[in-house]
């Protein structure tokens, strides 16, 4: 029994479980015919949760151990500078619409959700958790520290927003007859942060670069704007 | 070795980002500051070194796997907000639909050339 405990205590199990669940998620995702409504990340997350439950590992312990792996999120974020650099000509050609659209689009992404939840009578803690919904996780955690709310609810909101954005972008692009990968990628990044960006890279390098751009700009803008807006509106 | 060298570059820029965030008390994460610094460096030197290109090509596909552990947390907080799930779900789904529509609409309005020249009459339809 003590041998088993030694295995459960180390971070290797958490990392192995994560890799296995992710690979299983990707496999199932392919089997299901790459459905838009259920990204590989979501299947992988369900498999991970099931694994934790079967092994009797509390989520907090898992989160602590898997930090050895998620540490890589830092250098991967830095690496997103490379597709941005490679696509610089496309991006520079569109700098005006991008800068004109971004502040309004990013601010509205937060405002719509907060306003709707407020109208439905959600308490301030819930509103604060929903506000950073379109921001990439590492930045959103920083915002949450400033404006309050629940970290887990916020991360849940990020997940749902990412999935719903991917769906909405696919559906609305078809409805509005939008085929420009720059426009689709940018919209995916602005609204759907990392999950949208992952989807955009599936569509191609141009969409991926525009999604990275949309994600970074939205993240930076919201990180600056939201704590200020929160103080001004007095939540 | 090329890959390792590139990875070291990325870590270096993340550390620089961390320094910048600490010194200037910026409200962004060290990694995001590192991204901006690396981009500025690439734009100034106009040369993408082989290692950085190789490392980024190897790492970017891992993004989805790396955000997954945070996502798992959702299944463990469902009880906590039992009374507010309707408000939360409606706000997220409807809010996201509206914001995607707004981004598309704004970008099409502001974009020159091919994308903006598409049929305008469709835009007024929600």
Q: Would you list the domain boundaries of chain B?
A: 1-75, 77-126
| Cβ distance of A82 and B86 shorter than 8 Å | no
Higher pLDDT, B124 or A95: A95
Q: What is the pLDDT of residue A234?
A: 64
Condensed to tens digits (0 to 9), the pLDDT of residues A99-135 reads 889 999 999 999 999 999 999 988 888 899 999 988 8
B101 lies within 8 A of chain A by CB: yes
Which residue in A120, A85, A166, A192 sits closest to B43, CA to CA?
A85
Domain boundary among A44, A71, A98: A71
Condensed to tens digits (0 to 9), the pLDDT of residues B11-20 reads 999 999 999 9
pLDDT (average), residues A180-206:
91
Q: Which residue of chain A is at minimal alpha-carbon distance from B36?
A: A81
Domain boundary among A71, A102, A120: A71
Condensed to tens digits (0 to 9), the pLDDT of residues B40-60 reads 999 999 989 899 999 999 998
Are A18 and A87 found together in one domain? Answer: no
Are A200 and A92 found together in one domain? Answer: yes
Are A198 and A219 found together in one domain? Answer: yes
Question: Residue A44 has what DSSP assignment?
Answer: H
Residue range(s) defining the domain that contains residue A197: 79-233
Given a cut of 70, whether residue B125 has pLDDT beyond it is: no
| C-alpha atoms less than 13 angstroms from C-alpha of A47 in its C-beta half-sphere | 23
| Cβ distance of A59 and B73 shorter than 8 Å | yes
pLDDT band at A235 (very low <50, low <70, confident <90, very high): low
Predicted-assembly ipTM surpassing the 0.85 threshold: no
Residue A134 in contact with residue A106, Cβ under 8 Å?
A: yes
Q: What is the pLDDT of residue B30?
A: 86
Tell which B residues from 22 to 61 touch A, by Cβ distance under 8 Å: 27-32, 34-36, 38-39, 42-43, 48, 52-53, 55-57, 59-61
Size of interface A-B (CB pairs under 8 A): 300
- A-chain residues near B27 (CB < 8 A): 142, 146, 223-224, 227
Are A169 and A99 found together in one domain? Answer: yes
The residues, any chain, with a CB within 8 Å of residue B100's CB and separated by 6 or more, are: A165, A168, A169, A172, A187, A191
The C-alpha angle with vertex B66 and arms to B85 and A214, in degrees rounded to 5, equals: 75
Using CA atoms, how far apart are residues A145 and A164, in angstroms rounded to an integer?
Answer: 25
Are A92 and A113 found together in one domain? Answer: yes
Q: What is the pLDDT of residue A10?
A: 78
pLDDT (average), residues A37-45:
85
Condensed to tens digits (0 to 9), the pLDDT of residues A58-87 reads 988 998 999 999 899 889 989 989 988 988
pLDDT band at A143 (very low <50, low <70, confident <90, very high): confident
Are A101 and A32 found together in one domain? Answer: no
Q: How many domains does chain A have?
A: 2
């Amino acid at each position: 029994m003590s041998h088993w405990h030694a295995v459960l205590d180390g971070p290797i199990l958490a990392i192995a479980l994560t890799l296995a669940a992710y690979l299983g998620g990707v496999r199932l995702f392919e089997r299901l015919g790459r459905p838009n409504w259920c990204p590989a990340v979501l299947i992988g997350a369900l498999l991970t949760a099931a694994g934790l439950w079967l092994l009797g590992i509390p989520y907090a312990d898992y989160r602590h151990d898997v930090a050895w792996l998620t540490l890589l999120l830092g250098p991967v974020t830095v690496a997103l500078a490379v597709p941005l650099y490679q696509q610089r000509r496309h991006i520079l050609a569109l700098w005006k619409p991008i800068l004109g659209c971004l502040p309004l689009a990013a601010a509205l992404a937060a405002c719509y959700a907060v306003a709707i939840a407020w109208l439905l009578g959600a308490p301030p803690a819930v509103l604060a958790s929903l506000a950073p919904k379109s921001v990439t996780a590492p930045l959103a955690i920083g915002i949450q520290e400033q404006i309050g709310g629940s970290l887990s609810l916020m991360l849940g909101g990020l997940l749902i927003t990412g999935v719903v954005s991917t769906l909405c972008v696919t559906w609305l692009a078809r409805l509005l007859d939008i085929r420009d990968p720059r426009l689709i990628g940018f919209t995916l990044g602005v609204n759907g942060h990392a999950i949208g960006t992952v989807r955009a890279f599936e569509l191609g390098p141009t969409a991926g670069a525009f999604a990275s751009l949309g994600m970074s700009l939205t993240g930076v803008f919201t990180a600056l704007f939201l704590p200020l807006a929160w103080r001004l509106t007095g939540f | 070795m090329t890959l390792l060298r590139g990875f070291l570059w990325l870590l270096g820029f993340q550390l620089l980002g961390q320094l910048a965030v600490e010194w200037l008390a910026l409200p962004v994460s060290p990694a995001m500051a590192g991204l901006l610094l690396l981009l500025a460096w690439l734009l100034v030197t106009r040369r993408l070194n082989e290692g950085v290109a190789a490392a980024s090509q190897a790492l970017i596909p891992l993004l989805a796997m790396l955000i997954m552990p945070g996502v798992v947390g959702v299944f463990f907080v469902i009880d906590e907000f039992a009374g507010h799930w309707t408000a939360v779900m409606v706000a997220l789904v409807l809010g996201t639909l509206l914001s995607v529509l707004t981004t598309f609409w704004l970008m099409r309005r502001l974009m020159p050339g091919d994308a903006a020249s598409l049929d305008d009459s469709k835009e007024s339809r929600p």
